[in-house]
Structure 1
Amino acid sequence: MQQTTFWKKYMTNAQLDLSIARYTKVPITWAEDSYVPEFNKLYFIMEGEGFVKTNGKIYYPKPGDLYLLPAGSTQAYGTLNDHNTFGKYWCHFSSKVNDAHLFQIIQAPVFVKPRDPELLIQKFKQLIFYSEKGDLSSGFRIHSILLEIMADFIEQSQDIQFDSRTVPSFEKMDKILQYIESHLHDSLSVEELARIASFHPNYFISVFKKYTGLSPIQFINRQRIERAKHLLLFTDQSVSAIADSLGMEVSYFSRMFREQIGFSPKNYREMISRSGATNTKKKLRMDTEPDYFKDKTDLPE
C-alpha cells in the first residue's frame, strides 16, 4: 500500500459514526435485489450460506469472512439454503473524511480473513453492548472500537489504493507536507509554504486546515514535538542539541514541549527511561477487554 505523507496525515481526520450493531440469524426472506445505501456495512459471517453482490460482482461469503460493503455502491444480497441461512455479526456506520466518503477515497477489498476471529467477535459484542447502553462514555468506546476494526481491516488488506481525484489539491498538499517534514529545522513561514503551493496565503491557511485539522504553524510545531519525542527516546542527544536540530532556542523549545506534552523534555526522557521503553524499544500493544458480552440480539439485516 502506497502511503504518502499527505495520506497518512489526511486519514487522521476520518470520522466514523455507528448507527446500529447486532448479531442476526437471517430469515429465509433476507433479500434485496438492487439498492445503493448511504452507509457502510460490515458483515462478519459465523455460519450458513448466502450471497452478496456489490458493483456487479457476486460473492459467496464463508464462515470467518469479514465483508465490507461501502456506501454508494450498488448492492444485493440473499439466501441460498432455506435450512442454513447466514448467522452473522453486522453493523452499519458512516465514514467521512472532510466532505468525502472514506471508501471513495480509499479503494479497499470487499472482504478479508481476520487474523484473530475470536478477538473480532469480542469487538462486535462490545459494539452491540455499548450501542444499547447509550450513555455518554459509550460513544467514545464505540468510536474507538470501530477505528480498531477498520484499522485491522486495512492492515490485513493486500491492496489498498488511494483515489486522489476525490481530494482537490492532493498533489500540492502532499508536496507541502513532505517539505515541512524535511525542513523542520528551518524557519518556516506561511508565506513561504503558500508560495510553494502557488496559493494566496489566506487561501493556503484555509486549505491546509481543512486537510490537517490544524493551522500551518500549529502543524509545524506538532511535528517538531513529535520529532523531539523520538530523539529523546531513541538517542542520547542533549535537550539543547535536539532543540538546535529543530532550529529552536532551547528555552522556547522546552516551554512548547511542556505545553504540548505536560512534561519538560528532561522529565519526559527520565519518565520513559524508568519505564524501560528506551532499553527494550517494544511496540505498544492495546489490551482487550474481558469476555463478558454474551447476549445476542436478532434483527433481519
Structure 2
Amino acid sequence: MSIRYFNILMNHLEKMQFEVTAASFEELTGRETEPPDVYDCNRALLVTGGKGILHMDDRSFPMKAGTFSFLLAGRQHSMQAQRGETLSYWWCHFRASYADRAIFKEIGMPEHVSIPDPREAIALFERIGRNLLADQPTSRLRLKTSFMELVSVYLDHIVADTGIQETPSPEIEKLEIVLSYVDEHLADSITVEDLAGLIFLHPNYFIVYFKSLMGCSPIQYVNQRRLEVARTLLADPACNVSDAASRIGMKIYYFSRMFKAYTGLTPSRYKKLVLGTAKPVLGSGDPGEPRGQ
C-alpha cells in the first residue's frame, strides 16, 4: 500500500472528530456464538485470546489472538468460538464526523491486521473502558486520545504487514497520479491547471474533487508538502536554508515566512535546534536570526 494513500488518510484523520460510545470485554466458549447484529456505529475489535470465526455478511474470517479489526457501521456480523477454545476480545463502538465517508474502502484499507504483540492495544482498550465510566472533567479528552492511539497502532501494523494489498477505488487511483506529480515537482511552479490536466478535469471541478478527498485545497496541499520536505532537509547538516528553499521551489523570503507560520520558528533557528547547535534564548522572538532566514 502506497505511502501516499496514507497521506490521504492522514489528512482526513487529522480533521475528523471521533466519539467513542461504548466498549467492553467479552468471552465466548466452545462453539458459542454471539447473536448476529447490525450496528449503527463503527466497531473496533481486538482478539486477546483463543481462536474463532468472524461471520460478516456472507463471508467468514478466522480470528485469533492479535487479530485487530475495524468494521464499518451497517455491516451485520457475529463472533463464534471454535470448539474447545475460549475466544476473548475487546470491542469499542465509535462515530466519526467530518466528511464521514467510507475512506477505508476508497483507499483500500484492510478490515483486519495481525498484531504479534497486542499488549499495547489491550492496554489502550482497557484505558478506553475505564474512561468511559469515569466521571472526571478530563475523561472525554483522555478517551479521545486513547482511541487515536488505538487507530495509530492499527495503521502501524498495516505498514508493517507488506503482504496486505487491497485495491483502491478509481477515484483514489486518479488522486495518486496527482500526489506523485506534486512530490516529483516540488521545486517547480505547480498550478491548479497543471494538476487538473493530469486527470483531465476542469480546474474548478478539480478543486472540489481534490478537497473532498484530501480535506484541503490543492495549493494548500502543495505548500504543506513543501514545508514537510523542508523540515527534513533542514535536519541535514549539508543543506543550508537557501538550499532548502531552492529545492522546494520557494523564494527565500517567502519560504522563511511560510516556515515560521508552520513551525513557529525561522528556518535557521529550527535547523540549529534540530542539529543541537542552538543557544538558549531569553525573551520572545528569535534574537540573532538573520532577517528573512
Normalised TM-score (structure 2) = 0.76
Pair 1:59–1:254, CA change in 2 (3 A): closer
Report the counterpart of residue 151 of structure 2 in structure 1: 147
Decide which of 21, 24, 30 is 1:22's aligned counterpart: 24
CA distance in 2, matches of 1:163, 1:96: 25
Amino acid at match of 2:7: K
Within 1, Cα distance between the matches of 2:120 and 2:277? 28
Cα deviation digits, residues 205-232 of structure 1 (max 9, x gap):
1111111111111111111111111111
Q: Secondary structure at the match of 1:18?
A: strand
User: Is the aligned partner of 1:162 residue 2:160?
Assistant: no
Q: Which residue of 2 aligns with 1:44?
A: 47
1:120 is aligned to 121
Aligned counterpart, 2:105: 104
Q: How does 1:217-296 map to 2 (within 5 A)?
A: 217-274=219-276
Answer yes or no: is the 8 Å Cα contact 1:108–1:159 preserved in 2.
no
CA contact (8 A) 2:68 2:154 kept: no
Within the alignment, does 1:216 sit opposite 2:215 as a pair? no
Where structure 1 has 5 or more consecutive residues not aligned to the other structure, the ranges are 277-301
Are 2:178 and 2:198, in contact at CA under 8 Å, matched by a contact in 1?
yes
> Secondary structure of 1:244's partner?
helix
Q: Which amino acid aligns with 2:247?
A: S
Q: Is the 8 A contact 1:26 1:86 kept in 2?
A: yes
Asked if the contact 1:96–1:102 (Cα under 8 Å) also holds between the matched residues in 2, the reply is no
- How far residue 253 of structure 1 moved from its aligned partner, in angstroms, is 0.8
The answer to whether the Cα contact below 8 Å between 1:10 and 1:211 also exists between their aligned partners in 2 is yes
- Could you tell me how far 1:30 is from its partner in structure 2? 6.1
In structure 2, the CA distance between the partners of 1:119 and 1:184, relative to structure 1 (3 Å rule), is: same
* 1:28-85 residue CA offsets vs partner (Å, 9 max, x unmatched): 99634544445334032335x65432354545644x332426235442334567x975
Task: Specify the code of the residue in structure 2 equivalent to 1:121.
Answer: I
Is contact 1:46–1:88 with CA below 8 Å preserved after alignment? Answer: yes
Instruction: Say which is worse superposed, 71-80 or 127-136, in terms of deviation.
Output: 71-80
Alpha-carbon deviation of 1:268?
A: 0.2
1:4-46 CA-partner distances (Å, limit 9, x unpaired): 63x1221111455433222234589963454444533403233
Structure 1 pair 11–162 and aligned structure 2 pair: CA distance change class (3 A): farther
Amino acid paired to 2:213: Y
Output the CA distance in 1 between the equivalents of 2:264 and 2:214. 23
Kept in 1, the 8 Å contact 2:22–2:93? The answer is yes
Say which structure, 1 or 2, has more relative contact order (CA 8 Å, 6+ apart).
Answer: 1
Counterpart in the other structure of 1:75: 77
1:195 correspondence with 2:197:
yes
Quick one: percent identity of the two aligned structures? 26
Structure 2 CA distance for aligned equivalents of residues 111 and 236 of structure 1:
40
* Partner Cα separation in structure 2 for residue 238 and residue 156 of structure 1: 34
Q: Distance in 2 between matches of 1:139 and 1:80?
A: 33
Secondary structure (helix, strand or coil) at the match of 1:20 reads strand
Q: Find the counterpart in structure 2 of residue 280 from structure 1.
A: none
Contact 1:31 1:77 in 2 (8 A): yes
CA contact (8 A) 1:240 1:250 kept: yes
CA contact 1:109–1:160 (8 Å) conserved in 2? no
- Could you tell me how far apart the structure 2 residues matched to 1:237 and 1:111 are? 39
Q: Deviations over 1:235-262 (max 9, x none)?
A: 4122112212222211111111101111
- Find the aligned partners of 2:32 and 2:109 in 1 and give their Cα distance: 28
- SS of the equivalent of 2:246 reads helix
Partner SS, residue 255 of structure 1: helix
Size of the aligned set, in residue pairs, is 268
**Cα drift, residue 272 of structure 1:** 1.0
Q: Which residue of 2 aligns with 1:11?
A: 9
For residues 84-126 of structure 1, the C-alpha deviation after alignment (integer angstroms, 9 at most, x for no partner) is 75443222335689453344333526452x2323323211111
Aligned to 2:209, the other structure's residue is in SS state: helix
